[in-house]
Amino acid sequence: MTQLMLHSLLPVLIVAFGIVLSLLLIAWRRSQKLILIFTITIFSVALLASFSLFVDLADAVQVTTLVKVDSYGLFAFMLVLVASIAVSVLSSMWLTHTTEVHDEFFVLLQLVVLGAGILVISDHYASLFLGFELLSIALVGLVGYSRDSEFSVETSFKYLVLSACASSFMLLGIAFIYSYSGSLSFSTEQLMFDNMSDLSILVRNYGHGDVLFYRVGFLLFMVGIAFKLSLAPFHLWTPDVYQGAPTPVTLLLATVSKIAIFIVLMKCWFSQAIFVDTKSSDENMLFLMSIFAIASMLIGNALALKQQNIKRLLAYSSIAHMGYLLIVLIVISPQSVALAWQSALFYLTAYVLASISIFMTVQLTQYHHNKSELNVDDWQGMFWQNPSLAVLIIVAILSLAGIPLTMGFIGKFYLLNVAVQAQQWWLISALIIGSGIGLFYYLRIIFVLFTIVNEKNIAKELIPVSLTLSPAVNFSVMIVIILSVLLGIFPDLLGNLLVTVN
Amino acid sequence: MSITLLMCGLLFGGALAWFLEGVKAQSARWVSLLTVLVIGGYFAIALNATAYDFSTLQLLVRVAWISSFHIEYALALDYLSIVLILLTLFLALICVLVSWQEINDKVGFYYFNLLTSIAGIIGVFTAVDMFLFFFFWEVMLLPITALIAIWGHENRHFAAIKFFIFTQLSSLLMLVAIISMSFIHYQQVGQLSFFYQDWLTLDLPLSISQYLMLGFFIAFAVKLPSVPVHSWLPDAHTQAPTAGSVLLAGVLLKTGAYGLIRFVLQLFPQASVNFAPVAATLGVVSILYGAKMAFAQQDLKRLVAYSSISHMGFVMLALFSFNAIAYQGAVLTLVAHGLSSAALFALAGMIYSRIHSRDLNHMGGFWLNTPRMGGFALAFSAAAFGLPGLANFVAEFLSLVGAYQRYPILTILAAFGLIGSAIYGMVLFQGVFHGKCQVKQQAVNDLSSRELLVFSSLLALLIFIGFYPNSILGFFQSDSIIIAINNTVGVSK
């Protein structure tokens, strides 16, 4: 292991080291404030490390067969860290309302981030599974964290059981894939080039007979991935878990877990080199992905229509968004892979920013209304009472709906570019129909914010009271708003970063 | 001349109005009025001072914007855009004036939205980078939707959502077409491009261009609107506040027609010629259907809304006749209808402010108390049914004469629309001003001086253009679009 390899692993190592230190810190003194500051520090240091690495890294670095650090993965890890910092801040708001000291929460959070870190750089089914399980098990603990809440047991059991099932399906799938390719590495080509020629012949012959096993294996593998990404038809857990989990954990589920899994799926998929045009293309695979994508777009959006609970609504909308994102997997040729990566990362950035904005507002208003269930109507007239928070939601919702001026539109523009180049007209139609349905519930939220409330014509508990926000919160709200609009109008700021890296 | 300055000025004025309303009540409307006047004045002076020849498209600014896709910030002007911008600015003035007393809630934010939407519409009329065009096309929707959703009438949320979804869905189709065009440019030239004049040089096979043409056509047909995608319009117009209706009917519908002229006909000439019979038929169906539906309405604003569908049918028919006279008629219809429908919606708003109803059954006999309003209403409904001497007559006459040379039977059918418009025009006028009075007489006052100003300026323009149509048509005699149209027809023959 050279110094370069160690250097490129640095961000993940920092987080891993941080976990150990946190445990020591807990043994030394149990203080919520201390561990919060420590966690945020660890994340920020890791963020800095990945950023400097992201800027410096010329080429992808293969660290053993397990791990391959490239700039796309690093960018994704940066997104994960940003989201995790937001989660930590939100948790601190939430956890102060109880008397216990919650050190474990932050350790679990760091474990999730470590799992995500391993996932985004993994190049091997073994490291994938390692990261996958680390992420899942820590998340189970977090999902059921608020023991007093009425949904906590239901939620965590649902997540635990289904997640375990999904993992075992995935393991079986990996075994099948291994039986076909004789390697657990993502890229089978590398095996052929690197090793002795007789092995490569062996692999090729071996692969020739049992392609069915490979397909079944990939299908089973996709079950595990689709569960985590909550793609239809494996989405059933999503609304319940989103609703039952504490809000910061919901944000974690919506962002960190999905980014990491999606990135690893992309790495795995592109290593298999399944392209629309080339000879090695496997139409069944492409068909399978298109089905996942179209079903998720339509089902997610359709089920979101009638939701009153904001978290459930966001759960369904996230199903649809993962469906949109799957479009990037269907590309025509190796040349389009770069565009696909840029699109995915841009879209994910927009999605993360929007999610952070909305869940931040949910957390703030939930506390204010002092209830666990936050409905869309609870935000009535917010624009006139708390303009900055309302603008935050509006920008985020418009971004999710893909309306210009926001990042989400540019993200959608990227996706459409990929889809047009691959000439996937069915996917495009589903995306258009899905966005159309989506507008119904997105616009409803925005209109609720603008409702002019007369105190006489609504029930008393719905009368909006203006929240007083601390200067720090106000400042971060402003930052997020400015960032999402700025990147929506000048996407080059981010786009060029993504172009120049490789 | 800087169009960017124009738009920034409007945005700034809107923001200032919003801010100042918080400082001192009732200042927003003055700020907005002043902004529109200053901007309009600047535009007129700059037009006079400039040396460009606007009979062809003159590029004003072109700078890189999103370099990863070769998207540029490019604006250009020709006479078509100039006429439509002038119409927009004039109607913006009318909008501010009709909102003067009507809006009492959140006034500052209202004027901010109004001016922002005007800025967006000006962007639509000038953008020549297709991504930029799409950007403005979408951005102008947001403030207009807000106008409907916040200050509209009883069913405003439904109307606003319907309006937004119709336009958004159709424009996504256009976005796909735009991306496909840039990808074709990539295949042919080796570089993505969204620049309109680059696209004009592309060599498109008909098999592809007909689908791309449809993508654009549907987006513009929804905005125009044409049957069968018109159903957002009656709801949106009815529920919007008066200024919203004026803006929708007067300017927003024109963006659809502008898109048809600028993009559909010129980027896809051959495909348009092939598609023309369908489009012309849609136009005629819109004319007749709109007129029939207008006649059957009890709601005053709904009546005017359906009459808009009818009038826009003439535009569609004329544009797809590929004839210079018809084209001039179409452009003139845009202006004439912009003025006359704005006037009728303003009338509906003024009546609503007096009796708080839009139902024709609650009206009647207003002539006794409001002879001046009645006189203007008569003139405007006469304009709507094309009385000679008013602008609409010239416009529709030219459209029909031009269209007759290509589609004689369709044009004869379309001419029945004129009879229909006379019927609903009279229904409107008689229902409101004749018959027995339904409400207390004292409630209905005659026009205030502000309302008088609105009406008389609109009527003066209608009469001026009616008697001297060359004031507008003169710009379009040697227009490059006409030459393009003639070429197209030449090719197809």
What's phi and psi for B412, nearest 5 deg? -60, -45
* pLDDT class of A198 with cuts at 50, 70, 90: very low
Q: Is residue A113 part of a domain?
A: no
| Cβ within 8 Å of A, B 88-127 | 105-106
Mean pLDDT calculated for residue range A448-471: 67
Q: How far is B283 from chain A (nearest CA, A)?
A: 26
Structural domain that includes position A378: 303-502
Q: Say which DSSP state A90 is in.
A: H
* Cα–Cα distance, A21 to A29 (Å, whole number): 12
Q: Is A409 an 8 Å CB contact of chain B?
A: yes
Q: Which of B105, B153, B161 to substitute to test the interface with A, most A CBs within 10 Å? A: B161
Specify the pLDDT at position B34: 92
* Cα–Cα distance, A439 to B363 (Å, whole number): 38
* Cα–Cα distance, A296 to A236 (Å, whole number): 11
* pLDDT class of A195 with cuts at 50, 70, 90: very low
At residue B60, the 3 state secondary structure works out as: strand
Inter-chain residue contact B142 with A403, CB threshold 8 Å: yes
Q: Is residue A427 part of a domain?
A: yes
Specify the pLDDT at position A275: 58
SS3 per residue for B380-425: HHHHHCCCCCCHHHHHHHHHHHHHHCCCHHHHHHHHHHHHHHHHHH
Q: Is A413 an 8 Å CB contact of chain B?
A: yes
A496: chain B residues, CB-CB within 8 Å: 67-68
Q: How far is A65 from chain B (nearest CA, A)?
A: 34
Size of interface A-B (CB pairs under 8 A): 77
* Cα–Cα distance, A187 to A203 (Å, whole number): 13
Q: Is B179 an 8 Å CB contact of chain A?
A: yes
Q: Is A157 an 8 Å CB contact of chain B?
A: no
* In the predicted structure, residue A210 carries a pLDDT above the cut 90: no
A414-435, pLDDT tens digit by residue? 999 999 988 888 999 999 999 9
Q: Is A65 an 8 Å CB contact of chain B?
A: no
* pLDDT class of A496 with cuts at 50, 70, 90: confident
A447: chain B residues, CB-CB within 8 Å: 149, 157, 160-161
* In the predicted structure, residue A307 carries a pLDDT above the cut 80: yes
* pLDDT class of A377 with cuts at 50, 70, 90: confident
Q: How far is B172 from chain A (nearest CA, A)?
A: 7
Inter-chain residue contact B138 with A417, CB threshold 8 Å: no
Inter-chain residue contact B172 with A436, CB threshold 8 Å: yes
Q: Is A421 an 8 Å CB contact of chain B?
A: yes
Q: Is residue A205 part of a domain?
A: no
Q: How many whole angstroms from its chain centre is CA B398? A: 19
Specify the pLDDT at position A46: 94
A153-165, pLDDT tens digit by residue? 889 999 999 999 9
For the ranges A218-232, A262-276, A446-460, the lowest mean pLDDT is seen at A446-460
Residue where the block lists tokens 């520090």: A41
Inter-chain residue contact A452 with B180, CB threshold 8 Å: no
Q: How far is B134 from chain A (nearest CA, A)?
A: 9
Tens of pLDDT, residue by residue, chain B (493 residues): 688 888 999 999 999 998 988 888 888 889 999 999 999 999 999 888 887 878 788 888 889 888 888 888 999 988 889 999 999 999 999 999 988 888 888 888 999 999 999 999 999 999 999 999 999 999 899 999 999 998 888 888 899 999 999 998 899 999 999 999 999 998 888 888 888 888 888 888 888 888 999 999 999 999 988 888 888 999 999 999 988 899 998 899 999 999 998 898 888 888 888 898 999 999 999 999 999 998 888 888 999 999 999 999 999 999 998 888 888 889 999 999 999 999 999 999 988 888 888 888 888 778 888 888 888 999 999 988 888 888 899 999 999 998 998 889 999 999 888 888 889 888 888 888 888 777 666 667 788 888 889 999 999 999 999 999 888 888 877 666 666 666 665 554 4
* In the predicted structure, residue A500 carries a pLDDT above the cut 70: no
Specify the pLDDT at position A56: 82
Inter-chain residue contact A404 with B134, CB threshold 8 Å: yes
Specify the pLDDT at position A164: 92
Q: Is B157 an 8 Å CB contact of chain A?
A: yes
Q: Is residue A180 part of a domain?
A: no
Q: Is residue A462 part of a domain?
A: yes
Cis peptide, bond prior to residue B228, ω within 30 of zero = yes
What tokens does A280 get? 């090695």
Residue from the list A420, A436, A496 with its beta carbon closest to the beta carbon of B67 = A496
* In the predicted structure, residue A166 carries a pLDDT above the cut 80: yes
For the ranges A223-232, A330-339, B316-325, the lowest mean pLDDT is seen at A330-339
The residues, ordered by sequence, that sit 6+ positions from A459 with a Cβ below 8 Å of its Cβ are none
Q: Is residue A16 part of a domain?
A: no
**How many domains does one find in chain A?**
1
CA nearest to A422, candidates A209, A275, A242:
A275
* pLDDT class of A188 with cuts at 50, 70, 90: low
Q: Is residue A368 part of a domain?
A: yes
Q: Is residue A161 part of a domain?
A: no
In DSSP terms, A61 is beta-bridged to A69
* In the predicted structure, residue A242 carries a pLDDT above the cut 80: yes
